[in-house]
A and B are shown apart, each in its own frame.
Chain A
Amino acid sequence: GAGVSQTPSNKVTEKGKYVELRCDPISGHTALYWYRQSLGQGPEFLIYFQGTGAADDSGLPNDRFFAVRPEGSVSTLKIQRTERGDSAVYLCASSPDRNTGELFFGEGSRLTVL
């Protein structure tokens, strides 16, 4: 596809369950980012991949959150033992060049934890 693709677009789960959110970046983009946006706030950085490795995961709130990008393309954000406070829109972005400052965002995955 032409843009960043995220699935699922909506996920409703119960407290304590495990969730995976997938991101398919723009082809050829080496950098991939995960952000989280809570209601009424701006996107908040979670983790950044350059290729297959996590270059910076300082934004992950705790060890329940983990992300992988095994082949340097698709990435999966994994949340264990979900809590109601994890409810948010999870945005993925990719970039062709880590020096431009311009990120291309997907439409996000809206996670609701009941």
Chain B
Amino acid sequence: DQQVKQNSPSLSVQEGRISILNCDYTNSMFDYFLWYKKYPAEGPTFLISISSIKDKNEDGRFTVFLNKSAKHLSLHIVPSQPGDSAVYFCAARRAGNMLTFGGGTRLMVKP
């Protein structure tokens, strides 16, 4: 039972353009949604989050959008940079700070 899904395993974008990563979830009890970024041989690092009572959160080049009725969230990166190339995980939080992760999307930003 995959409660958090990232349907695109990979995404390739030209430097300077927008990257849009998508995530769908099924459990209405999730109260917080987060994006983590992971480089090879490193642990995931927190990128940005959004509360379930909001529909948008912006931090510099990164913006997360939440559509609760569709149980969908997305991460926008603009402009994309080669250093953004990594695997991005969507995560949803339930009680006790326990996160359920999606399968990840590998983003490749080409110079």
Contacts and interface: CB of A to CB of B under 8 A. Distances in A.
B60 to A, nearest CB: 17
A25 interface: no
Contact of B93 (A56, A101, A104): A101
A62 interface: no
Contacts of A45: 98-100
Contacts of B34: 101-102
A107 B43 contact: yes
A11 to B, nearest CB: 15
Prevailing SS type, chain B contact patch: strand
Interface string A36-56: 000011111100101000011
Which residue of B36, B99, B101 has the most chain A CB atoms within 10 A of its CB atom?
Answer: B99
A3 to B, nearest CB: 8
Contacts, number: 63
Nearest to A98: B97
Contacts of A100: 97
A4 interface: yes
Contacts of A44: 101
A43 B97 contact: no
B91 to A, nearest CB: 8
A95 B97 contact: yes
Interface of B: 4, 6, 9, 32, 34, 36, 41-46, 49, 89, 91, 93, 96-104
- State the 10 A-B residue pairs at the shortest beta-carbon distance, nearest first: A105-B43, A42-B101, A101-B32, A98-B97, A102-B46, A101-B93, A43-B101, A42-B103, A105-B44, A107-B43
30 contacts: A4-B43, A31-B97, A33-B97, A33-B98, A40-B103, A42-B4, A42-B89, A42-B91, A42-B101, A43-B89, A45-B98, A45-B100, A56-B96, A56-B98, A91-B44, A95-B97, A98-B96, A98-B97, A99-B97, A101-B93, A101-B97, A101-B99, A102-B34, A102-B49, A103-B97, A104-B46, A105-B44, A105-B45, A106-B43, A107-B43
